[in-house]
Chain A
């Protein structure tokens, strides 16, 4: 009896899971299919087959330029956020001091405050008040919004870290900086890689902050995709989405193979 009951439960679970997956993947699959349509407007199902929209991406100067900008911004911002975030996460985990909890929560505030609010405030402050160049403010803005991810992921990989090994290294003749790079860092590399991926993807996809900080001549890929679909109905953006999905899948595949995706679920 019990077995039958379990089987029924399993069947229900299976159907439910399939429904959830359909709900999640259907839009992506539809976009994927429309990318190969021959019509000059997005149609589902498409009436003819073509790969010209993919060619269209590579011939579009706007997309190529903004892709390059996005890559640059995300990469530099992620590295900057790592340089700032790793020591911060280390200090929060290693030391006890007054106001530690407040500081910890403060570091997560860019995630908690709505992105549009962060974007607008950064716009007011950096562009209007400080009159910073667009590229610089984009970099700063992106660094700010991804720092919380870095601190979170590095923080969790430092949890349960036996700091006695730091003292062991020092007693064996390593100075403070040497100790960090020779003993602490090698034990959190997987955390650093995970943080890097997460931060990079978040920066690359960001719209609410970028939309306020981009301006004449400089834009990021998601922003240029948005403005493209405002005036064009052809499936170029669908094709671009497919490429981005493939890129993400490849990255995730590498992460899974090297670290295991469970790293992000911690």
Chain B
């Protein structure tokens, strides 16, 4: 049974251009779901509609089988963590965390117990008397998370919470967020533009583009089997070839080159096939199927591998090879595109 159900949400600021267009999304209870996409794709807008800061022009937001579309922010009981953390500058760490409980008119003793417990959980108990400006970025982050969790929210919303941290801390915090999310068993929506970050901790990812969800699936499926060209490019596919369906699991590209494809997802003409640079192999032995000849255009060194740009009848293909045999510019090579690695989008 889903906890969040967004039905045909449309948002437009000026009445002409839609930021979100008929967006539908269902999130199951207890999961961590990420909204992933480049800036301007509508992921933050989606979060703001769910939080209640933004009213959708049309559509419905059902939460736990109740219509939340018109419920004001302060009655939703959702925890929020902002990109800027948005801690109250005039309050100490303790009072920041206690704010939500005071709003709920909880008695002093329980407030103290709850705040102390949560500060302990995020490892910030020794900083209870400090003010936000006396904390580092990572510490502010923890306080912001504690403040959102202490009210026992029905949903946790994280808006790019890691983007203001340095790379090392980012790795650490994302694991901590995942751990807290699982310890508390709280349904969480995580907005980010960082693919690796969201893949590492999400149960499911919604890849968004231009106000639409292009694919909603597990990170593994999105990574290995992107549904659209946009998603494919976003998760690191670089080679796109035009194909026509000509027979059972057989497709033909430019110059009459035929390829077998395992997953026959799309049929017809002018289909795009895509393959990751690291999945194309340079053949040393002979092979007949799924091969194409080409000439090395450029070779670049990437540290753990070489990248070759190879000119073929299908266009320029990019591939990465860790092999000891190094090819140089102008070399003729034969490429092998494994049938299970070609994805039709």
Q: Which of A169, A171, A183, A186 contacts B78 (CB 8 A)?
A: A171
In the complex, what residue of chain B is closest to A189 when comparing beta carbons? B90
* A165 adjacent to B86 (CB under 8 Å): yes
Please name 17 pairs of A and B residues whose Cβ atoms are closer than 8 Å in the assembled complex, sorted by A. A165-B87, A167-B82, A167-B86, A168-B86, A168-B88, A170-B53, A170-B73, A171-B79, A172-B100, A172-B103, A172-B147, A173-B75, A175-B72, A182-B99, A183-B88, A187-B89, A187-B90
* B88 adjacent to A164 (CB under 8 Å): no
* A165 adjacent to B74 (CB under 8 Å): no
Q: How far is the CA of A168 from the CA of B99 in the complex (A)?
A: 10
CB distance from B279 to the nearest CB of A (A): 43
* B77 adjacent to A173 (CB under 8 Å): yes
Known: A162-B86, A173-B74, A187-B90. A168 touches B103 (CB 8 A): no
In the complex, what residue of chain A is closest to B77 when comparing beta carbons? A173
Judged by a CB distance under 8 angstroms, whether B69 is at the interface is no
* A171 adjacent to B74 (CB under 8 Å): yes
8 closest residue pairs by CB, A with B? A172-B100, A173-B103, A164-B86, A168-B86, A171-B80, A170-B73, A186-B90, A165-B86
Could you say which residues of chain B place their CB within 8 Å of the CB of A182? 99
CB distance from B288 to the nearest CB of A (A): 61
Could you say which residues of chain A place their CB within 8 Å of the CB of B78? 171
* B84 adjacent to A162 (CB under 8 Å): yes
Q: Which of A162, A168, A183, A186 contacts B80 (CB 8 A)?
A: A168
Q: How far is the CA of A130 from the CA of B73 in the complex (A)?
A: 46
Interface string of A181-213 (1 = CB under 8 A from B): 011001100000000000000000000000000
Judged by a CB distance under 8 angstroms, whether B151 is at the interface is yes
CB distance from B282 to the nearest CB of A (A): 51
Known: A162-B84, A164-B82, A164-B84. A171 touches B73 (CB 8 A): yes
Could you say which residues of chain A place their CB within 8 Å of the CB of B86? 162, 164-165, 167-168
Interface string of A154-179 (1 = CB under 8 A from B): 00000000101101111111110010
CB distance from A116 to the nearest CB of B (A): 43
In the complex, what residue of chain A is closest to B104 when comparing beta carbons? A173
Q: How far is the CA of A234 from the CA of B90 in the complex (A)?
A: 53
**Max count, chain B CB within 10 A of own CB: residue among A172, A173, A182, A186:** A172
Report the interface size for chain A: residues with CB under 8 A from the other chain: 17
A: residues with CB less than 8 A from B are 162, 164-165, 167-175, 178, 182-183, 186-187
Q: How far is the CA of A173 from the CA of B72 in the complex (A)?
A: 10
Interface string of B46-86 (1 = CB under 8 A from A): 00000101000000000000000000111111111011101
Given contacts A172-B99, A187-B89, 18 further A-B contacts (CB under 8 A): A164-B83, A165-B87, A167-B86, A168-B80, A168-B88, A168-B147, A169-B88, A170-B53, A171-B148, A172-B74, A172-B100, A172-B103, A173-B74, A173-B75, A173-B103, A173-B151, A178-B103, A186-B90
Q: How far is the CA of A171 from the CA of B88 in the complex (A)?
A: 13
Known: A167-B53, A167-B73. A173 touches B89 (CB 8 A): no
In the complex, what residue of chain A is closest to B105 when comparing beta carbons? A173
Could you say which residues of chain B place their CB within 8 Å of the CB of A164? 82-84, 86
In the complex, what residue of chain A is closest to B82 when comparing beta carbons? A164
Could you say which residues of chain B place their CB within 8 Å of the CB of A167? 51, 53, 73, 80, 82, 86
CB distance from A33 to the nearest CB of B (A): 47
Could you say which residues of chain A place their CB within 8 Å of the CB of B73? 167, 170-171
CB distance from B70 to the nearest CB of A (A): 15
Q: How far is the CA of A164 from the CA of B77 in the complex (A)?
A: 17
Could you say which residues of chain A place their CB within 8 Å of the CB of B148? 171
Could you say which residues of chain A place their CB within 8 Å of the CB of B76? 171
CB distance from B191 to the nearest CB of A (A): 14
* B100 adjacent to A173 (CB under 8 Å): yes
Q: How far is the CA of A45 from the CA of B147 in the complex (A)?
A: 69
Could you say which residues of chain B place their CB within 8 Å of the CB of A173? 74-75, 77, 100, 103-104, 151
